[in-house]
Amino acid sequence: MAIDTSRAETGYVHPSAAALKRRRIRLGDTLFRLALQFCLFVAFAFLASLIIYVLIAGWNRLDLRLVTNMPSGLASRADESGLQSALTGTLWVITLTALMCLPTGIAAAIYLEEYADNTRWYNRFLELNIQNLAGVPSIVFGILGLGIIARVFGLGFTIITAAIVLSLLVLPVVIIATREALRAVPPSIRLGSYALGATKWQTVRRQVLPAATSGTATGAILALSRAIGEAAPLILLGAVTFVRFNPEGISSRYTVLPIAIFNLIKSPQAELQELASAGIVLLLIILLLMNSIAIVIRNRAGKIR
Amino acid sequence: MSETTTIAPPDLDRRSGVKITARQEQSTPASDRNGGVDPIIELQDVDIYYGSYRAVRGVSIPIERREITAMIGPSGCGKSTLLRSLNRMNDLIIGARVTGRITFHGQDLYEAGVDPIEVRRRIGMVFQQPNPFPKSIYDNISYGPKVTGMKVSNMDDLVEEALTGAALWGEVKDKLKTSALALSGGQQQRLCIARTIAVKPEVILMDEPCSALDPIATAKIEDLMAQLTKQYTIVIVTHNMQQAARVSDKTAFLTAEVDKDGQRHGVLIEFDDTNKIFSAPSNELTEAYISGRFG
């Protein structure tokens, strides 16, 4: 009887079919949607205004001289000044950082995700501390680098010191992102591989890692993007503000773009402030290039080999 | 086991480099089929634990060579656990442990020194959800032979042979280099079977291989299983009693029993010829289950 909903039983009258067409305004829905769009707008507008501002401010200096000329020490030649030494310094440091932190970080992530027994307290302890490490201010890494790598290891204020410290700084980011990527690989793929008689290493190497390539590449680029923009730890590590030569090797003195930009902005001369804006654009271009590399890797990984 | 002197001593050591094909070529006398004298795998009083929890208690079953043995029973009765213990896939679950004896050609699979990797090369497995690798059809098949270091003179021939063996060759022969993930569910499952037979195992374990498939794909897999018994021994776990009745030679009926502490353990109720289980079961629980009154 409860099933019978006829008019006589319940007194309920179903609305007419025409009611389906009545225009309704659902306030909650609309407001929520607007709020979401507003948040997106804030983030995007800020980025866009930043980019537009530096483009306008640095427009006069955005030509090849930016990368072919060295910084000039003479105030009278400020408009001839370029950022070549900072650009080469940044490329040296970031390449070495990538060479050191990516293999280490990916290997550590493979261990934690595929080999470590997560029911053991020491592995959970490790995991927690890697996450803590990701939140340590970069200046602290600079102090550590100064005390241990530059002084105790005697590597001095060189490119290799900077690269080691930046590697340590972004290592947690690489590890965390790679672990996420590995965790996203369905367990059924691993089981399928084991069931064919593959060893653990074969399974990781030939099934899990290829399937995680895209996430790993994203994490790697995020990490390197952070490293390339760091100035704080390098101030302590002898990235000198005024360098008129390109690095010749890993034990060379150096400067990097963020430090050079910081130095130029402090300068009273309008020409040098313009140069700072042009330097920011240069840094953004490098970041964009790095991101496009990640996109290429992702697209190639998405295709079936 | 004592009469089976033609069988080479099992050698599951990693270093031995056993010629698997040589053993498979030894034909089994026709009389052995359904004769019940030549079990390839024997479970003797097997208990399986996850940590301190006993999931399966006291199961003894002989698995006959080149037959299909079905394991049926309600959910949670330990069928899949039992199946996974036969090729040591349970080793991958932390805390899983087997007591009793599971022998393969007389060799205790859980004896110290037995290499689980080698066990899995000889006893393959097909899973409930088709799980092709995110690679091409060709690479799905060639992966197993490559990682197991099989001596393959012509990989193309092996791929064709495996796909033909799994009744998939005709459907995919023109698109071997395309993604396996583009295949339908039923084709993916047959690809998983092809991938398994490419490493030339002796036994294929199937864990509800058709439960994610439609009836047409299911019928194809069932036909395929019948074909495969010419060369392989199959153990299948299924929820589908009609399937067990259709395809299997022997059936094991398991159920979950609740002990005085309220813990559930899988136990074997009855093991017999499939015909007998489905026509004249000797245990009333079996009878109730197959007639749909329980489970």
- Domain limits, chain A: 75-302
What token pair was written down for A251?
């034990």
pTM, 2 dp: 0.82
Closest Cα in chain A to B88: A195
- For A230-279, how does the pLDDT look when each residue is reduced to its tens digit (9 = 90+)? 999 998 888 777 788 888 888 888 999 999 999 888 888 888 889 999 99
Judged by CB atoms closer than 8 Å, whether chains meet at A194 and B195 is answered as: no
Task: Walk along chain B (295 residues) and give the pLDDT tens digit of each residue.
Answer: 344 334 444 555 544 443 333 334 344 444 444 444 679 999 999 999 999 999 999 999 999 999 999 999 998 899 999 999 999 999 998 889 999 999 999 999 999 999 999 999 999 999 999 999 999 999 999 999 999 999 999 999 999 999 999 999 999 999 999 999 999 999 999 999 999 999 999 999 999 999 988 999 999 999 999 999 999 999 999 988 899 999 999 999 999 988 888 888 999 999 999 999 999 999 999 999 988 877 5
- For B42-72, how does the pLDDT look when each residue is reduced to its tens digit (9 = 90+)? 999 999 999 999 999 999 999 999 999 999 9
Question: Phi and psi for B237 in degrees, rounded to 5?
Answer: -100, 130
- For A292-302, how does the pLDDT look when each residue is reduced to its tens digit (9 = 90+)? 988 898 888 76
Does B188 reside within a domain?
no
Which residue of A117, A186, A198 is in closest CB contact with B147?
Answer: A198
A123 interfaces chain B, CB cutoff of 8 Å: no
Judged by CB atoms closer than 8 Å, whether chains meet at A196 and B94 is answered as: no
| Distance, C-alpha A210 to centroid of its chain | 21
What are the distances in angstroms from CA B250 to CA A210, A291, B286, B292? Answer: 41, 59, 14, 20
Judged by CB atoms closer than 8 Å, whether chains meet at B127 and A195 is answered as: yes
Q: Give the residue among B122, B106, B143 at the shortest CA–CA distance from B16.
A: B122
Please tell me which of A1-5, A27-31, B172-176 the model is most confident about, judged by mean pLDDT.
B172-176
| Distance, C-alpha B93 to centroid of its chain | 18
Domain A75-302: give its CATH code. 1.10.3720.10
- Asked if residues B248 and B233 have their Cβ atoms less than 8 Å apart, the reply is no
Give the domain CATH number at B57.
3.40.50.300
Sign, CA dihedral B188-B193-B194-B198, equals positive
Instruction: Collect all residues of chain A within an 8 Å Cβ-Cβ radius of residue B195.
Output: 192, 196
- Max CA-CA distance within chain A? 98
Does B229 reside within a domain?
yes
Domain count of chain B?
1
Q: A254's torsion region: left (phi>0), alpha (psi -120 to 50) or beta?
A: beta
Q: Which domain holds residue B112?
A: 38-129+202-290
ipTM computed for the complex: 0.85
CA distance B168 to B172: 6
Does B108 reside within a domain?
yes
Does B144 reside within a domain?
no
What token pair was written down for A210?
């290829």
Mean pLDDT in residue range A108-133:
90
Q: Which pLDDT value is given to residue B16? A: 43
Judged by CB atoms closer than 8 Å, whether chains meet at A305 and B135 is answered as: yes
Judged by CB atoms closer than 8 Å, whether chains meet at B139 and A117 is answered as: no
Distance of residue B285 Cα from the nearest chain A Cα, in angstroms: 34
Judged by CB atoms closer than 8 Å, whether chains meet at A304 and B195 is answered as: no
Closest Cα in chain A to B121: A197
Does B89 reside within a domain?
yes
Instruction: Collect all residues of chain A within an 8 Å Cβ-Cβ radius of residue B143.
Output: 193, 196, 198, 206
Instruction: Collect all residues of chain A within an 8 Å Cβ-Cβ radius of residue B199.
Output: 196-197
What does the radius of gyration of chain A's CA atoms come to, in whole angstroms? Answer: 27
Instruction: Collect all residues of chain A within an 8 Å Cβ-Cβ radius of residue B121.
Output: 196-197
A299 interfaces chain B, CB cutoff of 8 Å: no
